[in-house]
Copies of this chain bind each other. A is one copy, B any other.
Amino acid sequence: MSSQNRKIRIRWINPIAQPHYDEPMGMALKQVAEVGTEVEVISLRSEAKMDNLEYRFYESLVIGDVVKVAKEGDSHGVDAMVIGCFYDLALEDCREICQNAIVVAPCQASMQIAANIANKFSVIVGQVKWIEQMTERAHRYGFGNYLASMRSIDMSANSLQCDTELTTKRIIEAGRLAIEEDHAEALILGCTCNFGLYEKVQQILGVPVIDPLIAAFKQAEMLASMKQNFNLAPSNKWSNEPPSESEMLKFGLHDLSDPIGNRFLIS
């Protein structure tokens, strides 16, 4: 049935305990959402106040809360969720605990979309630091053969939006090398903080450039729509089987501290 029963609800998880990005992020997402999609942006309550997740240590400090936020969303009617970081942290964990909601993340979503429009792509990352972990993700998702290269622009995640002209210039330089030397046919911007920069790069370099924020959000929206209309649901079998309610009750997992620090809702 093509008409949707009710509005689609997408939750974007900002996996940090910094609330001030939530509104601008929500407004940006609303710009790319279908009419009628409800967009909710959540950031965390954690005592760990990082403004970036470039280190595995930082990720480790928020993984538990990210999964708790996913679990909360799953039991409150959210249709799909996005983990808002290109490391796709806790993706398999969130998928296991969710019995109704579909969980996606920028790296997998971007690569899936890129694989529909190019046979080889490169990822433009902020720092060499990121390459090993993101490459491991690419292999996990099966995109090892599609990967022409990962190239660094030597900028930290939270500096990417400081001087977007500079960032764009560096992306273009790295992207040109990826195309000419590594034979990339498309580019993926390897951080959600690159939001808004893809168009200029695409225009200059003449190859498709994937914005991971748009990729992840549209993927989430599509899967949410398929969930509503065609009963698409996350698997709960084998590695995706969540713990039983009774066991979680026994371990006190229903009374865990609230992981939600801030919530921005726009419908």
Which of A136, A146, A183, A235 has the most chain B CB atoms closer than 10 A to its own CB? Answer: A235
Instruction: Report A128 CB to chain B, min CB distance, Å.
Output: 6
Q: Fill in one digit per residue for A216-251: 1 if any B CB lies within 8 Å of its CB, else 0.
A: 001101110110011111111111111100000001
For window 52-100 of A, CB contacts with B under 8 Å fall at: 54-64, 66-68, 71, 90, 92-93, 95-97
* B183/A238 in contact, CB under 8 A: yes
User: CA of A90 to CA of B90 in the docked complex: distance in angstroms?
Assistant: 11
Chain B residues with CB below 8 A from A199, complex form: 231
A257 within 8 A of B: yes
A96 with B31: CB separation less than 8 A = no
A169 at the interface (CB under 8 A from B): no
In the assembled complex, which residues on chain B have CB atoms less than 8 Å from the CB atom of A162? none
**B-side contacts of A256, CB under 8 Å:** 47-48, 61
Contact with B along A18-53 (1 / 0, CB 8 A): 000000000000111111000000000001111100
Count identical subunits in the complex.
Answer: 6
- With contacts A35-B2, A92-B119 taken as known, whether A235 is within 8 angstroms of B207 at the C-beta atoms is yes
Residues of B within 8 Å of A104, CB to CB, are: 116
User: Assuming A61-B256, A129-B238, what are 19 further A-B pairs, CB within 8 angstroms?
Assistant: A1-B31, A2-B30, A2-B32, A34-B225, A51-B251, A54-B243, A56-B93, A57-B96, A57-B97, A60-B93, A63-B63, A108-B115, A117-B235, A118-B237, A128-B238, A136-B140, A185-B237, A206-B236, A206-B237
- Give me 28 A-to-B residue pairs in the complex whose CB atoms sit less than 8 angstroms apart, sorted by A's number: A1-B31, A32-B230, A47-B256, A48-B256, A55-B97, A56-B93, A57-B97, A58-B243, A60-B64, A60-B90, A60-B93, A61-B68, A92-B133, A113-B226, A117-B235, A118-B235, A119-B132, A119-B239, A129-B238, A129-B239, A131-B183, A132-B183, A142-B144, A142-B146, A206-B237, A208-B232, A210-B232, A218-B226
